Amino acid sequence: MPDTNSSMYISKSTRKTNSGLHSVYDGFEFDCPILPGLPDDIAKYCLALVPRSYFPTMGGVSRRWRSFIKSNEFIIVRNLSGLLEEWIYVLVMDTKGDGTHWEVLDCLGNKQAALPQMPGPVIAGFGVVVLNGKLVVMAGYSVVDGVGSVSSDVYQYDSCLNSWSKISNMNVARYDFACAEVNGMVYAVGGYGVDGDSLSCAEVYNPETDKWTLIESLRRPRWGCFACGFEGKLYVMGGRSSFTIGNSRFVDVYNPKEESWCEMKNGCVMVTAHAVVGKKLFCMEWKNQRKLAIFNPEDGSWKMVAVPVTGSLRVGFRFGIIEDKLLLFSLEEEQGGANTLLYDPNATPGSEWQTSKIKPSGLCLCCVTIKA
């Protein structure tokens, strides 16, 4: 019935004027109920009941459905209904080592739909965050026809619709920088600029206005660092600073309410992997890749937990998160012979470590978890 009505409306509108066809039709479609015969709040709940793997198909039914599925409200409705599904997005090195691709795995390790190719050139030193159920890939360094360039481009992947779109550019092109989501905003800090100079500038992205805004800079340039959010504050640590010899242990902390930075002195150095699980930060340092360094922001303390593996200390891990547990993907070249480790910080003592069936097809370069 909705298709018949729509066709009739297009026909009538066409007889009146062809130039106004799209605007008239768009308004008609958004005025229609989501599901004929049902109030919109009940219809939205019905759509939220559908398994996540069908979202891209649902988005092609109508613009009204597509608009709802890509909205934050859709995620909220599924969350309130207890229907959110966690999928892991892993950037994997191709078998021949000449490129990369994203793989999508569910909580059982089953592969889901592949991501379409991200727009723009192949980049390195980029930043990745998850914002409102979407994957945001920003800035980085690329080489096209032998010419290198630093980017300020930002792309957003909608995990519900399986599609990429471009959002506003950053104010400063950069690579090897720190980035994180805090209170629904994305922060980018430090890194290298277009001339290879180290940066101290920082900026924040507001998804409601699709705009990047410069904020107070760091006290010193910082690069090769990483960031995370705790209790509404941005923590930047690791990497190097122009005011230190070697790697820095200083932690720069930004308070969005006060719009200012402060400093701590007991951070991690030369971090090869990091992830936030619950209210704690898990790190692995290059010098000791057989132990997890766990940071508690409540008291600023660190503790070490041994990783139950043997072999070369040079073989490290990349981190992922699933159901409030930490995944450790081995960086051994022969992925088939290396199990994915799983650390449960809430398990009873002695049973924190397990193995997981979740395993990418190749070398894991980075990993994020998106709930939708």
- What pLDDT score does 26 carry? 44
- What pLDDT score does 8 carry? 25
Percent of the chain with pLDDT over 90: 71
Query: Is 46:33 a contact under the CB 8 Å cutoff?
Result: no
- What pLDDT score does 161 carry? 93
User: Residues in the chain with pLDDT < 50?
Assistant: 1-28, 335-336
pLDDT 10s digits, 39-69: 999 999 999 999 999 999 999 999 999 999 9
d(CA 25, CA 241): 56
Q: How far is CA 324 from the centre of its chain?
A: 16
Domain boundaries along the sequence of the chain: 2-80, 85-111+271-372, 116-269
Q: What single DSSP character describes residue 157?
A: E
Within 13 A of 114's CA, how many CA atoms are on the CB side?
Answer: 8
- What pLDDT score does 270 carry? 87
Average pLDDT of the chain to the nearest whole number: 87
pLDDT 10s digits, 257-308: 999 999 988 888 889 999 999 999 999 988 888 899 999 999 989 999 999 9
Query: Is 131:122 a contact under the CB 8 Å cutoff?
Result: no
What fold, for 116-269?
A: Neuraminidase (2.120.10)
Q: How far is CA 275 from the centre of its chain?
A: 12
- CA nearest 135: which of 111, 116, 121? 116
- What pLDDT score does 339 carry? 83
- What pLDDT score does 21 carry? 34
